[in-house]
Amino acid sequence: MGNQRLRCPPNKTNLKGLNSNDFISRMPDDILIMVLSRLSVKEAVVTSILSTRWRFLWCNLKTLNFDARQALDNIDNDFRFYLSERYKYTKQVNGVIRSYNHPRLHHFRIRFYLTCEYTSVIDEWLKFAVKKKVESLELDLETNQKNYLHNTFNYSFPSRLSDKSTSHILIFPSANLESLKKLYLNCWPQYDL
Amino acid sequence: MLKNLNSKHIQRFSYKYLPQFPISPNSPKLGFSRSQIANYRSNFPTTIMSSSKTIVLRSSDGETFEVDEAVAVESQTIKHMIEDGCADTSIPLPNVTSKILSKVIEYCKKHVETPNADEKVAEEDLKSFDADFVKVDQSTLFDLILAANYLNIKSLLDLTCQTVADMIKGKTPEEIRKTFNIKNDFTPEEEEEVRRENAWAFE
C-alpha cells in the first residue's frame, strides 16, 4: 500500500444521490482504479460510460498494456485474420491515445506484429509515450515469425523523436528521456553510429 | 544453583540480549528502531516472554477478538501497530465491524495455517477456500475490500478486487449497471459524446 501512488487526491466516498443498493459507488477512487487495473484496456474504457463518476476513472491507470499477440499466435498463417486484427489493434491504440487525459503514464507496452508501413502510426504512439513521461516503454514488433510478413521491412526505431509541445527528445541509443527507466525494443532499429 | 549465580553471570546474560550499543546516562538518544525491537524480542528467552502471543482486536461495535499474533500480523497495519508498541491492551479497529472482522480473521487464519503451497493439495484447498470465501452478497464483498485496504492485507485485497473485476469482465455497460445498481447520470448528449469519443470500445 505504501508504494502505490495515489494519482487522484484522496476523496471521501461519493454518497450524493446513490441508490441504497449501489455499493460499488461508495468505494473511494483508488480502490476502483485497483479494480480497473485488473481489466484489459478495452474493458476499462467501457466503464467510462457507466456514470459521470466513472467517465475518466480509467485515465488513472498507470499501465497501458496492448498485447494482442496471443490471438494471432493461435491462428497460424491466416493473412485475412491478421489484417482484421491489425485494424482493430491500431484503432484501439489510437483511440486510447486520444482519450487518455492524465499527464503521466508509467508503463506503455506495445506487442504485436507490425511493419514499416505503420511507421507514422507507431511514431505517433511513441510521441504519446514521450509526452506522458513514460517510465517503462516496451515496443515489441517482431515480425520474422510470421511467414506472410517475412519479406516486408521492419519498423525502424527513430533516431530522434521529439514532441514539440514539451521538448522531450529521445535520442537512441542513449535514451535522453528524463523519466524513462526501462526501454525494451524488438523492432530491428537502424541508426547511424 | 542460585547460590552460584553471581554478578558476572547476570552481566553476561543481559549483555547478550540487549541491543548492541552502549547505554550510559549521558547517552544522547536512547531509542530502539523497529528492527532492534524485533531482534530483541526474538532473542529474549521464552521463560520471560511467551512465544505464542495473542493479540486482542476490537471492532467498531465494541466486540473483541483474540487472535494469535501470527494471524494478526497478516495485516501490515496491525503489524506496524505492534512494532510501534501500541498493542499492549487491545487494538481498536474503528473502521471494521465485528461481522467483517470475523470474516477477515477467518481468512487470515486459513492462510497462516496452510503451509506455503508447494504441495498441490494444499494449493487446491486454499484456492477453493478463496473461491467460497468471496461468494457473499455485494455489501459484504465491498466491506471486505475496504477492510482489506484499511488493514493492508495484500492477498485479501487482491482476491476481492479480482472478484469485482471478474464481475465486470465481458459485460456490456447496461449489464454492468444492472449488476451493481449504478445509476446512469449522463444527459443524453453527454452519453452520446462519450460513445463517440471511445467508439472503438463499444463496437
ipTM of the complex: 0.73
Contact A108, A64 (CB under 8 A): yes
Helices (H), A75-112: 79-99
pLDDT at site A37: 94
Q: Is A82 helix (H, G, I), strand (E, B) or coil?
A: helix
Grid coordinates representing A31? 480502490
B200:A92 CB<8 A: yes
Confidence of residue B85 (pLDDT cuts 50, 70, 90): confident
Q: Is the dihedral of CA A82, A83, A85, A91 positive or negative?
A: positive
Chain centroid to CA B20: 31
- Beta carbon pairs, A and B, within 8 Å: 101
Q: Which residues pair with A183 in a beta bridge?
A: A137
* pTM passes above 0.90: no
Of residues A46 and B90, more confidence is placed in A46
Mind listing the pLDDT tens digit for each residue in B24-55? 555 555 566 666 666 666 665 444 444 578 89
Chain B residue with Cα closest to A45: B201
Q: Which residues in chain A have their CB less than 8 angstroms from residue B145's CB? A: 27, 31
Answer yes or no: is pLDDT of B69 > 80: yes
* Spatial separation of the C-alpha atoms in residues A73 and A40, rounded to whole Å: 19
Q: Locate cell 506522458: which residue?
A: A132
Strand bridging mode A63-67 / B64-68: unpaired
Nearest to A23 among B139, B161, B199 (CB): B139
DSSP state of A115: B
Mind listing the pLDDT tens digit for each residue in B175-189? 999 999 999 999 999
Q: Which residues pair with A66 in a beta bridge?
A: A110
B142:A27 CB<8 A: yes
CB of B187 within 8 Å of a chain A CB? The answer is: no
Mean pLDDT by 10 residues, chain A (193 residues): 50 54 91 95 94 94 88 75 89 93 89 82 87 83 63 60 43 41 54 31
How close does chain B come to A6, measured CA to CA in Å? 13
Share of chain B above pLDDT 90, in %: 61
Nearest to A50 among B165, B173, B200 (CB): B173
Confidence of residue B102 (pLDDT cuts 50, 70, 90): very high
Answer yes or no: is pLDDT of B157 > 60: yes
Strand bridging mode B91-92 / B54-58: parallel
pLDDT at site A110: 87
Strand bridging mode B54-58 / A136-140: unpaired
Amino acid at B64: T
Average pLDDT, chain B: 82
Average pLDDT over residues B156-164: 96
CB of B155 within 8 Å of a chain A CB? The answer is: no
Answer yes or no: is pLDDT of B169 > 50: yes
pLDDT at site A113: 82
Average pLDDT over residues B70-74: 93
Q: Please provide the size of chain A in residues.
A: 193
pLDDT at site B113: 87
Phi/psi for B64 (5° steps) reads: -110, 145
Q: CA geometry: angle at A39 spanning A36 and A45, to 5°?
A: 70
How close does chain B come to A163, measured CA to CA in Å? 23
pLDDT at site B14: 46
* Spatial separation of the C-alpha atoms in residues B184 and A50, rounded to whole Å: 6
Mind listing the pLDDT tens digit for each residue in B105-143? 999 999 998 876 567 888 888 999 999 999 999 999 999
A173: cis peptide before it, omega within 30°? yes
Which residue out of B161, B167, B177, B178 would a mutagenesis test of the A interface target, given it has the greatest number of A Cβ atoms within 10 Å?
A: B161
DSSP letter string over B86-136? --SS-EE-TT--HHHHHHHHHHHHHHHHS--S-SHHHHHHHHHHHHHHT-S
pLDDT at site A184: 67
pLDDT at site B88: 74
Chain centroid to CA A18: 33
Helices (H), chain B: 7-17, 34-43, 69-72, 76-83, 98-113, 120-133, 138-151, 154-168, 173-180, 188-197
pLDDT at site A190: 36
Interfacial A residues in 30-49 facing B (CB < 8 Å): 31, 34-36, 38-39, 42-43, 45-49
Phi/psi for B162 (5° steps) reads: -65, -35
